[in-house]
Structure 1
Amino acid sequence: MGKLTTHVLDTAHGCPAADLKIELWQIDSQTDQKTLIKTVLTNSDGRTDSPMLNESEINVGIYELVFAIGEYFASKFAHPVEPAFLDRVPIRFGIADATAHYHVPLLASPWSYSTYRGS
């Protein structure tokens, strides 16, 4: 059963990133045109309540998750720096097997981020 999941860890505070906005876009590989599929907020565990794409929604193609970490970190600091060093973090990736589980987590601070394909 294929699906796409994500979660976000706040490495500046050492905790899950709750209430962080994530957009999921599908990218047309021929035109590079983006189509917004959904926008969600992370829960208290830094995860989405349901998969970003479930088994009936997932297709082979190019996708992009956009994480609103600038907005998230601005709400966590008493005196946020303006403009934020990082604002919206896009992660573009390909789904080659619609029957596989793709997990794309984000580890983020106001100054850096990393990702990987998890399980």
Structure 2
Amino acid sequence: MTNSRITTHVLDAATGVPAEGMHVELSGRDGAAWRVLAEGTTDADGRIMRLGGDELPAGEYRIRFDTGAWFRTRNVETFYPEAVITFLVTDDGRHVHVPLLLSPFSYSTYRGS
């Protein structure tokens, strides 16, 4: 199976292990609103390799990570009930990888490869 245009990876930076079992939603901007395009759950390696279609038009997108529910299932207190990363997809056809480095009281991201 090939990767979709958008992929993600979540790492629990506090424990140093992949965040398996986190629910994730991909949305696209539709005028002033957001429309959910795809959703999935991270695998044993903390990844979702097929999130959305192989082709996506240029535009503004966001990924919502359900961090609150994920931490609750592990009995860990967190400050963030969700992490939302908004990003641009250009018309250059490049793969877009959106990683999330997560701990109960902080998170960060970067343009992955």
Q: TM-score, normalised to structure 2's length?
A: 0.89
**3-state SS of 1:86 partner:** coil
Match of 2:68 in 1: 70
Once residues 37 and 54 of structure 1 are traced to their aligned partners in structure 2, the CA distance between those partners, rounded to angstroms, is 9
Match of 1:22 in 2: 24
Once residues 95 and 81 of structure 2 are traced to their aligned partners in structure 1, the CA distance between those partners, rounded to angstroms, is 28
Task: Give the root-mean-square deviation of aligned CA atoms.
Answer: 1.8
Once residues 91 and 70 of structure 2 are traced to their aligned partners in structure 1, the CA distance between those partners, rounded to angstroms, is 32
**3-state SS of 2:21 partner:** coil
**3-state SS of 2:47 partner:** coil
Letter of the 2:14 partner, please give it.
A
Aligned residues: 111
Once residues 111 and 27 of structure 1 are traced to their aligned partners in structure 2, the CA distance between those partners, rounded to angstroms, is 28
Once residues 8 and 2 of structure 1 are traced to their aligned partners in structure 2, the CA distance between those partners, rounded to angstroms, is 17
Unaligned 5+ segments in structure 1 are none
Match of 1:89 in 2: 83
Letter of the 1:65 partner, please give it.
I
Unaligned 5+ segments in structure 2 are none
Once residues 4 and 70 of structure 2 are traced to their aligned partners in structure 1, the CA distance between those partners, rounded to angstroms, is 29
Identity percentage of aligned residues: 38
Q: TM-score, normalised to structure 1's length?
A: 0.85
Match of 1:40 in 2: 40
Deviation at 1:40, TM superposition (A): 0.5
Counterpart selection for 2:101 from 96, 107, 111 = 107
Moved over 6 A (4+): none
Letter of the 2:101 partner, please give it.
L
